[in-house]
A and B are shown apart, each in its own frame.
Chain A
Amino acid sequence: MLDVFRTLNISASGLTAQRARLDVIASNIANAETTRSDEGGPYRRKTVVFREVYESAIHDAGYRNVRAQTDAMRGVEIAAIEADKRPFRWIYDPSHPDANEEGYVQMPNVNVLREMVDLINAQRSYEANVTALNATKSFVNAALQIGKGG
């Protein structure tokens, strides 16, 4: 029974990670034209970095034991939210308050089209984790039917 809750937690970790990714994508799209940020200069695109959560201590304690190995699997987490190092875009707009002497403005390195693609990916991954969660739920329901004579 504990296994089931562990599995639910694995899927939940996937949901949390994908939701955080959606937040970052939303922030990127919202700031696609932001020319002023806390770090100075325009907004820099952010990306999430995923990392597998694997409890090596549990794995090492039960080496060659399948149950210990699966026990060590804890899903996924956000390792870091990194800034995209790629250069900013320059656009010509002399009327912009942040334009330089030549009339050029530094714009964020956000490509909205790419963000939309990422958004769809994140959504699909989120749904995949929901499906896994529902599969685990149906396991419990099926097990509870044993002995009922249905």
Chain B
Amino acid sequence: MAGLYNTNFTTLPLAMDVASLRNEVYAHNIANAETPGYKRREVSFEDSFKKALAGDELRLKTSRVRHIPNYPVSLDGVEPDLTRIKNTVITNDGNNVDIDKEMAALSANTLRYQTLTRLMDLNIVRYNIVLKGTR
């Protein structure tokens, strides 16, 4: 996003989106904690997000001053991924949901989301301060 708005308006909603996606997956895992044969699902995102931000893989090398760099990196292609964890077993019926782990992850994810909304809120507040002059 260019111009008036800073990059927080791109990164924070994306992170919030992923957090709510995760919340849904955790809810589904918890609902199926005792379903025979159910394999837990997991959202992976942070790695590809970090790579995009750091530009480890997506950034092109510029060896001359007049080379046009391809950063700030676009986050368009950075998408969360959903995987089924099939190679573990917790109970005899083939289910691999560890309810305690799932509950802990759920709470951590909730706190993360609340942190992100707070950051977004404060980001907007900063704009308000500028627009109003003083508060």
Contact = CB atoms under 8 A, between A and B. Distances in A.
A associates with B: yes
B49 interface: no
A96 B99 CA distance: 45
A133 B28 CA distance: 11
Contacts of B34: 50, 121, 125
A66 B21 contact: yes
Interface in A98-150: 121, 124-125, 128-129, 131-133, 135-136, 138-139, 142-143, 145-150
Contacts of B43: 66
A14 interface: yes
B29 to A, nearest CB: 9
Contact of B31 (A6, A11, A139): A11
A64 to B, nearest CB: 9
B52 interface: no
A51 interface: yes
A103 B36 CA distance: 41
Contacts of A35: none
A52 B79 contact: no
B125 A149 contact: yes
Interface residues of A, number: 40
A139 B33 CA distance: 22
A76 B31 contact: yes
Contacts of A139: 19-20, 23, 110, 113
Contacts of A147: 121, 124
Interface of B: 16, 19-21, 23-28, 30-36, 38, 41, 43, 79-82, 99, 102-103, 106-107, 109-110, 113-114, 117-118, 120-121, 124-125, 128
Given A66-B80, A73-B24, 14 more contacts: A7-B24, A11-B30, A14-B27, A50-B35, A66-B81, A124-B99, A125-B99, A128-B103, A129-B31, A132-B27, A135-B26, A136-B23, A138-B114, A142-B118
16 contacts: A4-B20, A11-B27, A11-B31, A67-B21, A69-B82, A73-B25, A73-B41, A131-B30, A132-B30, A135-B27, A136-B23, A138-B110, A139-B23, A139-B110, A149-B125, A150-B121
